[in-house]
Chain A
């Protein structure tokens, strides 16, 4: 009996003396690790596909200041929004800035100084045909910011309103082709704009299609081949974003739901495919590639997906991945649209927005990185810088 009592006492003593020393971990013994890509949470964090090679040839972290929106078809210049200080007459707030469009010449590295506007000019698209660009301009009416679609020449001297003053344009519009753009408004209408005519002021520049169903359209694009409008909507009752498709061949446009609870989408006109993100588990997003012809979706990646864009040819895509859902810091990845050959382009950058611009003629991408200066929340300032990465993916 004594032994029976003493045994656990000794066990306890041994345990306490050992101080819960790890039995299976060797102390002070170096262990060589090999990065085989088998990291934890690989279902959340993306890992490089080791079968493919990517060489970063150069990175320019200070290409120009501002937010990049588009690149010219010849790849010679970028359309950006630069932060300009509000003129005193336009703001009582000290150090308030407005985003005004600007052209950045890649070859010279010079930016045209933006034409001052006391309105924020965002989401620009280059109109190469007409040496101009289109952008959204915020107008504040009744304290609710409205957006207006505006065309400007590259110098900023001439501007034209493409949307009417009684409509608020949705933030997401798109260039269908070199002469046509599509936008939606707050009246559940999708409008196609003939730029030449619009700029020339010719009547009939706009063709408007009314949805058969009242929907708050957030972003719209057009699959020109099939004359199908793809658009995202916001459902106020469910507080979710939905993705629809609708044929514009009929007068009354009946939207067909593709998916619900999406975040953003982008359309590859060349491939007839949509990229969009869907809310996944544990705050992750699922990057879905949807083929419009076959009406089938494919899960490409799941993680803390940020922005994503098709390459110009539509066979590749670029997307960003946050290190954690609350982080602004993101990694940029290049991938084929079939979900293979994931290659990391950038690491831990505060990538801004939803756009990464592919150079039309070489393996270069341009994107915006923001920086928050001054930890003091009252004086927090955000600055934007355009990054460029030249890579070689074999």
Chain B
């Protein structure tokens, strides 16, 4: 299998050429090299996937070279391909290739294109290293590599303070998860004396009833390890508590959001749980935790998605919510279902983001849906592609009861599969089914709300500053004086914009501000069309292989923990359970239609009636404020305290300066000694306390 070497390392090579060549080789060469490399990778990936679908291939490990050898630990750079990896290979390379292609159009105006394409390819390489990892440490390499690429791409427009803040936030919050991941690796090595994933999975059942000490308590070994590792997954996959970075990550260019923050990187956590599924299966507690976090995130993110007005943030919260589905699928033991949803989600969510990009492109960088409206006729292809994506995410399809065939868009097959598996697993799974179904209602509502606000109704473009700038640029010279005015924030209200551009005011259709949106160029539309095909058909075509009892077992072949029993139970659930998701989908659609097309004053009235709830959701449950209050600001305050009071006023004063004072006998220093000694006492106490605690801990 030398093709896997090319598949993985070509993007790295391309990234190096584009990144170091940069201005020297020029935009076109850099873009061609990276896109070409990804095209080859993609072409190499599909045959591998098809071979596994045919069931003719077992796992193959291609060693590259040794990495770390210490004591009994051997870490190797190696590329593992099995049916689980094969899924990820096609997802990563296909979406990445399409995003590269799309970026030709989307980033055409950017002065820094080689760097952008280099980062994209670097990301793809890191992601491929992650999914081909045969040991936990290489997985961690890929894990951090994608984190780096994500950091660089979120902060791609590094002159923007908001982009920098978002980039750092993404990196640091992910590091909180990584803390868990690292401790999980340490613990796993302590228990199993190996970091090789297949060896750990083989040995995991033998540890099922053992216990281990961790910090101050003693608990079931596998529970401790799985939860530590899962904390890593929570960070990367933006699960409740560690999700705050994902919406902010939308500061990056939209193709980045599609590739990294929707289709691939954020699913790494799900991939990890599936990869280690035999490990998780040994601990019901850990699985319960995974289910709980997944279901909670799924609902929580959906509630926020319902009130956001930034088109990308809506889709970001939707991603967060869909990841929640994947996790609770894993939590109830339907790892095949989780991977299936990951697979279909990659296509339809990348599609939604790229469509959003196309809308933003057409609307001159305006991202606020309040300034959209009526775009259906202006950008028809984008509209239809986005509808395809929405049909997929909301799970439109025939539920296959009463002798009808079960057929629908991609998300229908995968999401309903997850919900059915949750119900079939019983116990906590039934609660997860209720939570997931309510989230499906919200999903349908916010997804259609997005469509209706963007593409239907009357244009509300005139209120947007971006659009005004665009119009000014177009007739720039004539309106110099006016643009001077409009450097100030424009009025919020779209209707009575005081100075809509003089030139032919009577010809301008109401609300457009004289702006003419254009459909995106072909290199942006082709990815939309191809992804639409995926969003329509991926579910129907592949359902059989991923989750049907026999074919699933044959496909997964032990690559994930697969329970034919559960998959069979799925088919025997009551009709109302099968029908539920479809019904709530229709309700969501109807509510969205009523509120955003039929009676457009409903949302405003609802917001003022439920003011408190509305604010709570609009402010994203106040997580950012809370974290700022309990982590960020105290960190800086404590840092300053340690520095000024600890280092300077205590250690230095009694250390070297004190010695100087004794030696020199000057009263000048003595004067300073009088002030603020209460801090010194506090500090000395802190030292004593630390010593006492550590001593007590160690003995």
A complexed with B: no
Chain B residues with a Cβ under 8 A of chain A: none
Chain A residues with a Cβ under 8 A of chain B: none
